[in-house]
A and B are shown apart, each in its own frame.
Chain A
Amino acid sequence: MTEKPAIKFRTRRSFPVLYMFAVTFVATGILIGLSRSTAGRVEANKQILFERAVLSALGVDAGQRPSPANIHQTFLAQVKSPTESTAGAYRLVRDGATAAYALPFAGRGFWNEIRGVMGISPDGSVLTGVAFYEQSETPGLGAEIVKPAFTEQFRNLKLAGGSSALGLKPAGTKTSASEVDAITGATQTCTRLEDILNDALGAWRREMGLHESGGAAAPDGSGEDG
């Protein structure tokens, strides 16, 4: 960079190639360095987002405006990692007993993957809450699913038995206790989200042997679709 080659060098045919190579080399070098140096931070941010979603779904209070460190400590203290017997769900332990399960779920939304966590009571009949930690739905529409106005509806939501444990219905049309208001203008996101939640819940309850349980009595026979 510092030497001053003769003009001749710059008119050689190989000069553009070498020049492009050099600029690319410098630029990518800096970017790789930057990305490496922040990788730990980015990873930690993701972990905290997940832990915050778990705590929020379980309804655990980590304090007023919790700092990342607070969230992490609360998570470590109260939540146990999934084992074989929980079918992939995290456990909230209170006084040695399981107070609730936190089941991570994922599925395709309107634009991209939606990932979140739902908190479920030990008998699988009531949701303690739902929280999302990754989504790229349309800002202002589908992305409203992360707002408390939407997620708070799942707090202590009584689930129905069978394969459609809950429903997202257009605002003002819900008919049973297991339904919540969907978001106007985000029909696609809500329809898909409803399926994601029901699929995850159904699979988990089957694996846990909680299939027939549910707030409302399951209809006679299996509640599964034919």
Chain B
Amino acid sequence: MNGAGGGQKSVKALAMEGLWTNNPIFGQVLGICSTLAVTNMVMNTLVMCAALVVTLSMSSLSISLLRSWTPRNIRMMIETLIIAFYVIMVDIALKAYWPEMSQNLGPYVGLIITNCIVMGRAEACANTQPPLTALVDGFFNGLGYSFMLLLVAIPRELLGMGTIMGFAAPYFSGPHWDKWIIMVMPPGAFFMLALAVWLFRSIQGPQQKEGAK
């Protein structure tokens, strides 16, 4: 649907696409796995989003730089390799300089390698577009993913634990609020994600249909 499109797109157009019209979560519906997994604590979500933005931007840039050299038949191997390269870098950096967070996120950082958004952007954009376009596209797709994740994470932590980023929130941490433990458990992620996707798709509904036709 997107991809090789003719001339270079402006930064504004790319931002609009990544954040809104073609948002990775509710537009392309990619990367849902990690959306469900890391969104019960806002702090973990933030670090995960930062890691994804870095990985996505850098791997898109690198794949785009190598695009005219890479033989088509092995391009996916190269893409996976480059993605894994950046993910392991992030993982090493966290282990060395932020061990607590590295422990909190457990295996999730490593699993960015299998996050479909990264591979999706590599195939849809970085493969055919010049480096700068690919970098900007990766960055805004990362941000589009991030804002949706935060939107899912904030209510989950607030309703489930009565805190935001570990700080007690007024009312919700008090005795009048019976914590909805289910919000921090896996089912809570499905509820929140479905609501968020529903909401955003309803808002942008009409344009989406036109695009599809």
In chain B, what residue has the closest Cβ to A39?
A: B96
B90 to chain A, nearest CB (A): 11
B181–A185 contact, CB under 8 A? Answer: yes
A42–B74 contact, CB under 8 A? Answer: no
How many residues from A make CB contacts under 8 Å with B? 30
B40 at the interface (CB under 8 A from A): yes
Interface residues of A in 168-188 (CB under 8 A from B): 184-185
Residues of A close to B89: CB separation below 8 A: 31, 34
B24 at the interface (CB under 8 A from A): no
B104 at the interface (CB under 8 A from A): yes
A185–B184 contact, CB under 8 A? Answer: yes
B30 at the interface (CB under 8 A from A): no
B103 at the interface (CB under 8 A from A): yes
Q: A16-B71, A138-B185 are in contact. List 11 more A-B contacts (CB 8 A).
A: A23-B81, A31-B92, A35-B92, A38-B96, A136-B103, A136-B106, A139-B40, A139-B44, A139-B184, A143-B104, A185-B181
Binding site for B on A (CB under 8 A): 10, 15-16, 19-20, 23-24, 27, 30-31, 34-35, 38, 41-42, 45-46, 49, 111-112, 134-136, 138-141, 143, 184-185
17 A-B pairs in the complex with CB atoms less than 8 angstroms apart:
A19-B74, A27-B81, A27-B85, A35-B92, A38-B93, A41-B96, A42-B95, A111-B106, A135-B103, A136-B103, A136-B107, A139-B38, A139-B104, A140-B157, A140-B161, A141-B181, A141-B184
